[in-house]
């Protein structure tokens, strides 16, 4: 299934890491490269049924979860947190602004690339879940877009006719909400970025940080010929300018032309009239989202009590049909996502079918958990853990909050196989 990129690709002959500024839409990263991001199912998986008819996509689907309970595998949360902190160090962020996150904002960018018509990108974000990210052509028409709102996640498709398609129902991190400041602070600590100065954009003072790729790429160290300069608003931490250079040549600039850190958001701002699902239900690649009840949560392999100030804001199972076209049997892959919310702050626990971390992640030794890795991402960073063989991903922009959540992870002995 082809999906809109959200940006034009760089000029041919240059490194093409997939479109810059790629969107996270629902449980998907639209336009992200597939290499190294395939889904895997850990060994020892068993079937856990949520009851007959709980999931229906033409046929009943079973919620797949993994578990292996070992009471000796648990270690104290304090030890886990101390282990993570010790591996990551406590170096200062070297001047990267880290203000409190905005509750909402709107921003308009002018996107320019050599030999390419100028595009306009407009974002409206209401954290933590609602986002609208639309890109307009030089003629003023929507060329790509994504929305996460009360009824789910949507993407704009131009073929066969321009229309909005439902990607999946459920609640998701706001699409288009780049939270680059805390990730760049981490990147500076680990030599993957550096502060190079300050500048003014829209009359606002910005700290300029140089890293390798644009927002949407996994963070890597810049080189003399390949780098991106990101202008962070000192007062809000939002990106007001992004200058991307490859092979010593400018390939794209995304410059803010309007920014409102306190927008008025009207009713229906995140409501989309859809022509139907992007992938028809019951076909390969389709996703069904199910809100889990407390009785279901008790059977999850891994759980965590919310950290101070946070509350649990729902748990959902995202069940994707991965069967081959024409196959007689359904091959579901399930990711269970728990949302922990404190105002605009959102952290997620992902378990079940979890993508492996990319090659650029920082490997961390974790007491009790055997291993872990930190991936610094300019949208939301994440920590991958293995708890007694079960893959778990903690996702959020603030590392220290993720460490608090990591310290609270526990195996659930009641997550046992039906019938033994």
Contact 246, 10 (CB under 8 A): yes
Percent of the chain with pLDDT over 90: 56
Confidence of residue 28 (pLDDT cuts 50, 70, 90): low
Task: For residue 255, tell me if it sits in a domain.
Answer: no
What would the two tokens of residue 167 be? Answer: 């990607």
Q: Residue 89 to residues 189, 360, 361, 400: CA-CA distances in angstroms?
A: 8, 18, 16, 12
Per-residue confidence (pLDDT) for residue 41, from 0 to 100: 30
User: Can you tell me the distance from the alpha carbon of 184 to that of 178, in angstroms, rounded to the nearest whole number?
Assistant: 12
Checking if the pLDDT of 275 tops 80, the result is: yes
Contact 103, 127 (CB under 8 A): yes
Number of domains the chain contains: 1
Task: Flag the least confident range among 24-33, 45-54, 92-101.
Answer: 45-54
Task: For residue 64, tell me if it sits in a domain.
Answer: yes
Checking if the pLDDT of 337 tops 80, the result is: yes
Task: For residue 215, tell me if it sits in a domain.
Answer: no
Per-residue confidence (pLDDT) for residue 365, from 0 to 100: 63
Per-residue confidence (pLDDT) for residue 24, from 0 to 100: 58
Mean of per-residue pLDDT scores for the chain: 79
Mean pLDDT across the stretch 132-142? 95
Per-residue confidence (pLDDT) for residue 84, from 0 to 100: 39
- Rg (C-alpha) for the chain, rounded Å, is 21
Question: CB burial class (10 A; 0-12, 13-18, 19+) of residue 419?
Answer: exposed
Question: CB burial class (10 A; 0-12, 13-18, 19+) of residue 45?
Answer: middle
Checking if the pLDDT of 90 tops 70, the result is: no
What would the two tokens of residue 227 be? Answer: 């780098």
The alpha carbon of residue 125 and the mean position of all alpha carbons in its chain are separated, in whole angstroms, by 15
Per-residue confidence (pLDDT) for residue 29, from 0 to 100: 52
What would the pLDDT profile of 358-413 be if each residue is shown by its tens digit? 888 888 766 555 568 899 999 999 999 888 788 999 999 998 898 888 888 889 87
Mean pLDDT across the stretch 147-171? 92
Mean pLDDT across the stretch 246-273? 96
User: Can you tell me the distance from the alpha carbon of 183 to that of 396, in angstroms, rounded to the nearest whole number?
Assistant: 10
Per-residue confidence (pLDDT) for residue 65, from 0 to 100: 35
CA-nearest of 249, 230, 225 to 240 is 230
Q: What is the DSSP letter of 324?
A: P
Task: For residue 247, tell me if it sits in a domain.
Answer: no
Per-residue confidence (pLDDT) for residue 200, from 0 to 100: 97
Task: For residue 72, tell me if it sits in a domain.
Answer: yes
What would the two tokens of residue 43 be? Answer: 């060994």
Confidence of residue 83 (pLDDT cuts 50, 70, 90): very low
Checking if the pLDDT of 37 tops 80, the result is: no
Per-residue confidence (pLDDT) for residue 8, from 0 to 100: 31
Q: Which residue has the higher pLDDT, 16 or 116?
A: 116
Contact 259, 240 (CB under 8 A): yes
Confidence of residue 152 (pLDDT cuts 50, 70, 90): very high
Residue 317: domain span: 45-91+281-411
Per-residue confidence (pLDDT) for residue 100, from 0 to 100: 95
Sequence-ordered strand ranges (E) for 169-310? 194-201, 204-211, 227-233, 239-246, 249-260, 287-291, 302-304
Task: Flag the least confident range among 9-23, 159-173, 196-210, 287-301.
Answer: 9-23
- What count of other Cβ atoms lies within 10 Å of the Cβ of residue 393? 21
Please tell me the total number of residues recorded for the chain in this structure: 420
Mean pLDDT across the stretch 53-72? 32
Checking if the pLDDT of 62 tops 90, the result is: no
Checking if the pLDDT of 194 tops 60, the result is: yes
Task: For residue 314, tell me if it sits in a domain.
Answer: yes
Q: Residue 267 to residues 85, 205, 325, 388: CA-CA distances in angstroms?
A: 43, 32, 41, 46
- Count of alpha carbons within 13 Å of 406, Cβ hemisphere only? 35
Per-residue confidence (pLDDT) for residue 50, from 0 to 100: 35
Checking if the pLDDT of 260 tops 90, the result is: yes
Q: Which residue has the higher pLDDT, 67 or 411?
A: 411
Checking if the pLDDT of 271 tops 90, the result is: yes
User: Can you tell me the distance from the alpha carbon of 404 to that of 393, in angstroms, rounded to the nearest whole number?
Assistant: 14
Confidence of residue 218 (pLDDT cuts 50, 70, 90): confident
Per-residue confidence (pLDDT) for residue 360, from 0 to 100: 80
Task: For residue 286, tell me if it sits in a domain.
Answer: yes
Q: Is 84 helix (H, G, I), strand (E, B) or coil?
A: helix
Per-residue confidence (pLDDT) for residue 332, from 0 to 100: 85
Task: For residue 205, tell me if it sits in a domain.
Answer: no
């Amino acid at each position: 299934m082809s999906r809109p990129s959200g940006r034009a690709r760089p000029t041919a002959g240059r490194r093409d890491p997939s479109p810059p500024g790629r969107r996270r839409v629902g449980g998907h990263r639209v336009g992200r490269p597939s290499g190294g991001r395939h889904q895997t199912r850990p060994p020892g998986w068993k079937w856990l049924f949520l009851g007959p008819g709980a999931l229906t996509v033409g046929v009943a689907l079973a919620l797949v979860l993994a578990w292996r309970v070992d009471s000796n595998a648990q270690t104290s949360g304090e030890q886990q947190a101390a282990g993570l902190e010790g591996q990551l160090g406590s170096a200062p962020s070297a001047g990267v602004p880290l203000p409190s996150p905005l509750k909402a904002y709107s921003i308009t960018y002018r996107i320019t690339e050599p030999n390419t018509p100028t595009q306009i990108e407009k974002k409206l974000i209401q954290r933590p879940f609602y986002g609208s990210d639309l890109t307009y052509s030089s003629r003023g028409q929507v060329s790509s877009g994504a929305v996460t709102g009360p009824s789910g996640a949507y993407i704009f498709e131009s073929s066969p006719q321009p229309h909005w398609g439902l990607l999946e129902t459920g609640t998701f991190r706001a699409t288009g909400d780049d939270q680059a400041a805390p990730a760049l602070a981490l990147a500076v600590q680990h030599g993957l970025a550096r502060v190079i100065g300050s500048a003014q954009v829209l009359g606002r003072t910005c700290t300029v940080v140089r890293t390798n790729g644009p927002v949407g790429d996994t963070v890597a160290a810049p080189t003399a010929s390949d780098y991106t300069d990101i202008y962070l608003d000192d007062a809000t931490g939002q990106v007001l300018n992004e200058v991307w250079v490859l092979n010593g040549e400018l390939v794209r600039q995304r410059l803010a032309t309007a920014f409102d850190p306190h927008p008025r958001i009207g009713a229906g701002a995140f409501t989309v009239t859809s022509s139907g699902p992007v992938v028809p239900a019951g076909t390969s690649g389709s996703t069904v989202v199910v809100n889990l009840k407390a009785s279901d949560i008790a059977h999850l392999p891994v759980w965590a009590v919310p950290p101070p100030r946070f509350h649990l804001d729902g748990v959902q199972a995202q069940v994707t049909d991965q069967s081959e076209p024409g196959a007689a049997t359904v091959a579901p892959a399930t990711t269970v996502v728990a949302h922990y919310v404190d105002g605009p702050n959102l952290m997620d626990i992902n378990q079940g079918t979890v993508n492996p971390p990319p090659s650029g992640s920082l490997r961390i030794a974790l007491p009790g958990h055997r291993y872990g890795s930190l991936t610094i991402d300019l949208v939301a960073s994440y920590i991958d853990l293995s708890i007694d063989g079960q893959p778990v991903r903690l996702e959020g922009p603030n590392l220290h909050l993720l460490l608090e959540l990591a310290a609270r992870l526990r195996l659930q002995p009641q997550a046992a196989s039906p019938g033994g």
